[in-house]
Amino acid sequence: MDLGFLGEIHLNAQFFSAVLSIVIIDLVLAGDNAVVIAMAVKKLTGRQRTWGIAMGAGGAVLVRVVCTFFVAKLLTISFVKLLGGAVILWIAVKLLVDGAEEESVREAGNLRQAVWIIIVADMSMGIDNMLAVGGASHGNFFLLMFGLILSIPFVVFMSSLLAKLMDRFPIILYIGSGILGKVGGEMMITDPVVHNLLHPSQAVEYTVMIVFTIGVIALGKWILIRRRQTAVAPAAAMTLATPQGAPVASDRP
């Protein structure tokens, strides 16, 4: 069957096998993107959260469509995955700290910030995702676009579900941050320059992923503790400086 610029498809076992593979890949890989989106929109409410999920997922897929055609070349360039992994680690810590802080929701610019974080994260960790879909499509442009378009509802549904769960169970925020830490560590240890230099075994790769998973959560928790101590210190100093029984200043005339 000739589909014009989308190429030709043959409705045979190989075609349906490729379709099934792409569906499974999208289901599995949508989890990473859903974690980023859910963590980024956690502090948004109502319509802003809905727009954040929709714009973030749409922007992420658009970036993936553009980058898919260059992914094979990008993967051969040293330091690309190393730098991308570092970006993911930074985002993991930032989202954990921002999401766990007990402060009022900032309205101005918060939606734009959430969408920007989502797109940057997808650009960084989407290389492996795009390569997987590209490999399953066997170079067929129709299957490639099918996989990319199919990822939209998967990501939107999973991120909406995770965002709601994070509101009820804050521990999921830490789990999500740990997952991103694992993704970042995996990208860095599988970078061509790292592999050529260190030749890490599979055991070493798993160890690195575990270390980064725990490290991201520990670093985020440490930053939160430090910030809370810094916030409490001025209030404690003011309390100590006020003589016991002294009248409290009032703004009333």
Planar angle of CA 231, 232, 238, nearest 5 degrees: 110
Domain range summary for the chain, segments of one domain joined by +: 14-236
- Structure confidence at residue 87 (pLDDT): 79
- The tens digit of pLDDT for each residue in 148-201 reads 777 777 777 777 777 777 778 878 778 878 887 887 888 888 888 888 888 888
- Structure confidence at residue 218 (pLDDT): 93
Burial of 194 (0-12, 13-18, 19+ CB in 10 A): buried
Contact 129, 71 (CB under 8 A): no
Q: How far apart are CA 177 and CA 92, in angstroms?
A: 5
- Structure confidence at residue 109 (pLDDT): 46
- Structure confidence at residue 114 (pLDDT): 77
Interaxial angle between packed helices 80-100 and 110-137, expressed in degrees from 0 to 180 and rounded to the nearest 10? 140
Contact 88, 209 (CB under 8 A): no
Q: How far apart are CA 43 and CA 173, in angstroms?
A: 12
Planar angle of CA 195, 199, 205, nearest 5 degrees: 80
Q: How far apart are CA 73 and CA 70, in angstroms?
A: 6
- The tens digit of pLDDT for each residue in 105-144 reads 333 346 777 777 777 776 666 665 665 565 566 556 677 6
Q: Phi and psi for 244 in degrees, rounded to 5? A: -65, 130
Tell whether the model's pLDDT for residue 39 goes beyond 60.
Answer: yes
Concatenating the DSSP letter of every residue in 52-119 gives HHHHHHHHHHHHHHHHHTTHHHHHTSTTHHHHHHHHHHHHHHHHHHHHHS--PPP-TTHHHHHHHHHH
Tell whether the model's pLDDT for residue 145 goes beyond 50.
Answer: yes
- The tens digit of pLDDT for each residue in 210-237 reads 999 999 999 988 988 888 888 666 655 5
- Structure confidence at residue 232 (pLDDT): 67
- Structure confidence at residue 140 (pLDDT): 67
For the chain, percent of residues with pLDDT exceeding 70: 59
- How high does pLDDT run on average in the chain? 72
Between 103 and 19, the more confident residue is: 19
